Amino acid sequence: MAMAAPTPSASCRLVGPIPFKDVVGGEEDDRTTPSEECGHTIATLPTIALLGRFVHHQYQGAWVIHERMPGVLSFQRRFAPLAGDVLLASPPKCGTTWLKAMSFATMARAAYPPSAADHPLRRLNPHECVPFIDDLLSAGHDTKLDALPSPRLMNTHMQHSLLPASVADNPNAKIVYICREPKDMLVSMWHFGNTIHPCEFSELFESACEGRTTDGPVWDHVLGYWRASKAAPERVLFLRYEEMLLNPVDGVIKLAEFLGVPFSAADAAAGLPADIVKLCSIETMKGLEANRTGASGVFYKFPHEANFRKGVIGDWVNHMTPEMAQRLDAIVEDKLRGSGLSFGSFGSGFRPVRVARERTAPSLES
């Protein structure tokens, strides 16, 4: 399939990452019917309707939304990884959009300098640059991934336990994971979900405390990638949204090193990491037409602008009572006990103040 202009220079034309939309064209609304094999598997799974609206199935310990179950099964059974693949992973509403933008801008900087006026991120939403395989495979569009040149850059919300061994244990592929303090994650999830199906925050809160959220329980999601990063740090990079937010330049440098495209001394002296941070900042992204209009998603169309709300630490204080916060903190602390991972330094530190304690920095929160 032909790529849309502008394209990289001739010497880089077949080297990825290249904006997904440039390779495959516009999104298609066609939805394939799950295979009989897939349908039989789904029919045997425990099923609930979260918030009374969204059907989810419990599969290998994770709550997967109905529309994405075929994609999970296809990923496990038929996905063919390529050397150099990079998988960006996260729970929903934990910095996915920001990580997509930073990873794409970092990996593709030779073909697309971050200061260039025609940079793909200035004309496309980050979700149009990096494909979301959960939806893509669920819709049966496997061949669209095949059209991407290596190294392929993709993302998922799947728990680590759902990844096939060909991805999770692949020495020629890398995983970058980002997580967020659960209370802020929940608030962001609520705002985001309300753009298509409004609900009371208390509904989502109770569901989260029970471990019933999309791709949850969140503690299992975080622990899976945390343990994988400890077992194979050369293959799994574990990032915390808050640490990236408070020092994004260092975060981009760390990301580049892990991805095998480190910045040279000349790059650093020229301010290239800072240029990438500026390009990917919420201030820049909010002002772009591609992010003020349009929507993305195969099964649910979320407005692009919904991905750029606040991008702050501590907004939970404006939505939760101290008792609610203490309850969720206690649950998460208990689930993470003994793992060496804690959210205490980014969670409890904000509890006493209910206004104006948000910490801001150039970021995207979804």
Query: Which residues are tagged catalytic?
Result: 157
What is the rounded CA–CA span in Å between residue 263 and residue 267?
6
What does R_g of the chain's alpha carbons equal in angstroms? Answer: 20
Element (H, E) at 155: strand 153-156
Contact 91/221 with Cβ under 8 angstroms? yes
Distance of CA 183 to the CA centre of its chain: 17
Owner of token pair 């608030």: 187
Tokens representing residue 103 in the block: 């990873």
Contact 102/96 with Cβ under 8 angstroms? no
Question: Concatenated DSSP letters for 248-286?
Answer: HHHHHHHHHHHTT-PPPHHHHHTTHHHHHHHHTSHHHHH
Q: How far is CA 143 from CA 1, 125, 163, in A?
A: 11, 22, 19
What is the rounded CA–CA span in Å between residue 84 and residue 151?
5
What is the rounded CA–CA span in Å between residue 74 and residue 57?
16
Q: How far is CA 89 from CA 113, 178, 234, 235, 259, in A?
A: 25, 7, 16, 13, 14
What is the rounded CA–CA span in Å between residue 86 and residue 256?
12
What is the rounded CA–CA span in Å between residue 123 and residue 64?
32
